[in-house]
Every structure is written in structure tokens, then in C-alpha cells.
């Protein structure tokens, strides 16, 4: 079978499945209709999904880094996470909370944390499913758990993560956050509540409520995918409130790319050009604000 064409309608169906109300059976039924056959749908589905086997840009054993799983106090109860530090540093350095998508703390996000550490930051990727027993191996099960999380408790766990990072010997006390998808929305929400967060980077994240924007102290960088109609519907209102409240922010919309364009484990949605540009902007922004 030739490599099948992946259409925008197929990508939209996958987004409906992973973020809205479509279940696995409904998604495969819709994909079968779009693809023309069950066989074609079976080939296309893994191309739309994230591939854990392709999750490493930076090997877990990279000699330039020190990486370990950690447990630390959360807002209430323990939090688990993946902590990565560069071995070669000159003085104390800034810290970045790396917040996962709605699949939890998986190999891809661990890899993003290693990439961030190679840029000269202490990077901590918390498992925000820790209160529910941690991220399960099955991604469908992980997605179901996110609906059981309490937003206020999640923000409290993010603040506890910030406090933990400030205690590390090599940390300069300045903490930022970067999040993707669910994590992007979490960065936006966290920024409305944290007085000490210095910088927040949200990739295609849901926007906070208008009346919460005034609480933002952090500088923000907001990355959006041009084809992501679901999330992009909230950009204008968010921008209006940020401007009205005199906040320090930048918004970038990457034309012609899909939600999750940064996730290199999803061949159908990853866009290297947009991902590389957003990453370079992100690193420069964090270096400026966390020095």
C-alpha cells in the first residue's frame, strides 16, 4: 500500500478524539470514512498519534547532563518529576518547569526537558497526574485522568514545583514555565496565580478567564498553530485583556501548521520549521527573563 494522504479533516478528527468528546471507536469509524477503508484507517491512525519510539532528540544518557527522577512536596501530597541539569555551568542558572500534554509525563516530555537543560537551564518536568497515582502507560487512560484533576490543585502543585526549584543548589531562584497543549493552558492558568513566576511560554494552550488576566506577573510568550481553530478562537479576547492590563507578552501564530506542531513524535502534525523557530524564540525569551 502506498503511503496514504493525511487530510486536514483526519487531523481534526484526531484532535476531536484526543481533546473533546469523540471516543476511540467513534474516531476510528470517522477515520475509516475519511480514509475510504478500514485498512487505510489502520495505517493512518498511528501516523496521527505520537510514537514513543521516536521520542529522543537528546539521549537519556547524554554525558552533558545529570538527569534523575525526583519526589518533592506538592501543594498537598507528593509530586513526582524528572529533573535534568547541565553538568557544565558558570554560576547559578535559571530553572524551567516543563509541563506535559494531556498524555502525562511521557518519553517525549522527558526529552524536551533534556533539550531545555542543554540550553543552560535546570529543567524539571513534573508529573501532574501524581495525585492520581502518576502517568499510566496507556495514553487513553492518561487522557481520561486529566478530567479528574482539579485546576486549583494543579496550580498549587505548579507553585510547589517552583518553590522546590528555588531550593536547588545550582538555581538562581528565577523560575519560568513552558507547556504544550494541556500544559500550555496550565502555564496560562499558573501565570494568573503565581507572584513569583518570571516567564511563561504556552504552546497552543487554552486561555485563562478574562477576569484572571490581571493577576499575571510573568512575561509571556504564546505560540499558536495557524490551523488550530479550537484553541485560536480565544486568542483575540486574551490579547485584548493582556493589553488592557498592561502585561508583558508576545504572540506568535505559525501559519499552515497544526496543533501539536512542536511534537516531533507525531509525523502527521509535527512541523520542523515552525518548531525550530518557536524553540529558538522560546530559548532567547527564557534566557532574557531568567538570568
Question: How does pLDDT run across 156-170, given as a tens digit for each residue?
Answer: 999 999 999 999 999
Q: Which three cell numbers stand for residue 44?
A: 493512518
Q: What average pLDDT does the segment 172-198 reach?
A: 98
Same domain, 39 and 86: no
Same domain, 34 and 86: no
Residue 56 has pLDDT above 90, yes or no: no
**d(C-alpha 82, C-alpha 69), whole Å:** 5
**d(C-alpha 102, C-alpha 143), whole Å:** 6
Residue 2 lies in a domain: no
Tell me the CATH number at 153: 3.40.50.1820
| pLDDT tens-digit map of 110-148 | 999 999 999 999 999 999 999 999 999 988 899 899 999
Residue by residue, DSSP assigns 31-83 as HHHHHSSHHHHHHHHHHHS--GGG--SS-TT-TTEEEEEEEEE-SSSEEEEEE
Same domain, 34 and 110: no
| pLDDT tens-digit map of 4-39 | 777 877 777 777 777 766 677 877 787 788 888 887
Ranges of beta strands (E only) in 191-269 are 199-203, 219-225, 249-254
The residues pairing with 80 across neighbouring beta strands, listed in sequence order, are 71, 127
| pLDDT tens-digit map of 66-110 | 999 999 999 999 999 999 999 988 899 999 999 999 999 999 999
The predicted pLDDT at position 1 comes to 45
Residue 53 lies in a domain: no
**What average pLDDT does the structure give for the chain?**
92
The predicted pLDDT at position 183 comes to 98
Q: Which domain holds residue 26?
A: 8-48
Same domain, 77 and 137: yes
Same domain, 86 and 211: yes
The predicted pLDDT at position 3 comes to 63
**d(C-alpha 163, C-alpha 94), whole Å:** 13
Ranges of beta strands (E only) in 53-207 are 65-73, 78-86, 93-99, 122-127, 171-180, 199-203
Residue 225 lies in a domain: yes
Residue 3 lies in a domain: no
Same domain, 43 and 64: no
Phi, psi of 68 (to 5 degrees): -160, 155
Same domain, 41 and 167: no
Domains contained in the chain, number: 2
Residue 232 has pLDDT above 60, yes or no: yes
Amino acid at each position: 500500500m502506498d503511503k496514504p494522504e493525511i487530510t486536514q479533516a483526519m487531523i481534526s478528527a484526531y484532535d476531536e478524539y484526543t481533546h473533546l468528546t469523540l471516543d476511540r471507536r467513534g474516531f476510528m469509524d470517522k477515520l475509516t470514512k475519511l480514509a475510504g477503508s478500514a485498512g487505510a484507517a489502520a495505517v493512518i491512525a498511528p501516523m496521527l498519534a505520537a510514537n514513543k519510539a521516536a521520542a529522543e532528540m537528546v539521549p537519556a544518557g547524554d554525558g552533558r547532563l545529570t538527569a534523575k527522577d525526583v519526589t518533592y512536596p506538592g501543594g498537598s501530597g507528593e509530586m513526582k518529576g524528572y529533573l535534568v541539569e547541565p553538568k557544565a555551568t558558570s554560576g547559578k542558572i535559571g530553572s524551567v518547569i516543563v509541563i506535559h500534554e494531556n498524555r502525562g509525563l511521557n518519553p517525549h516530555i522527558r526529552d524536551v526537558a533534556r533539550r531545555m537543560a542543554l540550553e543552560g537551564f535546570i529543567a524539571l518536568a513534573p508529573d501532574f497526574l501524581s495525585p492520581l497515582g502518576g502517568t499510566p502507560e496507556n495514553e487513553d487512560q492518561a487522557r481520561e485522568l486529566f478530567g479528574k484533576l482539579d485546576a486549583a490543585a494543579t496550580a498549587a502543585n505548579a507553585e510547589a514545583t517552583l518553590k522546590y526549584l528555588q531550593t536547588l543548589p545550582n538555581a538562581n531562584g528565577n523560575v519560568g514555565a513552558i507547556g504544550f497543549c494541556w500544559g500550555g493552558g496550565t502555564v496560562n492558568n499558573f501565570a494568573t496565580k503565581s507572584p513569583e513566576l518570571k516567564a511563561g511560554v504556552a504552546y497552543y494552550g487554552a486561555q485563562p478567564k478574562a477576569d484572571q488576566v490581571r493577576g499575571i506577573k510573568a512575561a509571556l510568550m504564546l505560540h499558536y498553530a495557524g490551523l488550530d481553530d479550537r484553541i485560536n478562537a480565544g486568542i483575540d479576547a486574551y490579547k485584548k485583556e493582556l493589553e488592557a492590563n498592561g502585561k508583558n507578552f508576545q504572540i506568535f501564530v505559525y501559519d499552515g501548521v497544526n496543533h501539536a506542531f512542536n511534537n516531533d513524535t507525531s509525523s502527521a502534525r509535527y512541523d520542523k520549521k515552525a518548531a525550530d523557530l518557536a524553540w529558538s524564540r522560546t530559548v532567547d525569551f527564557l534566557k532574557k527573563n531568567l538570568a
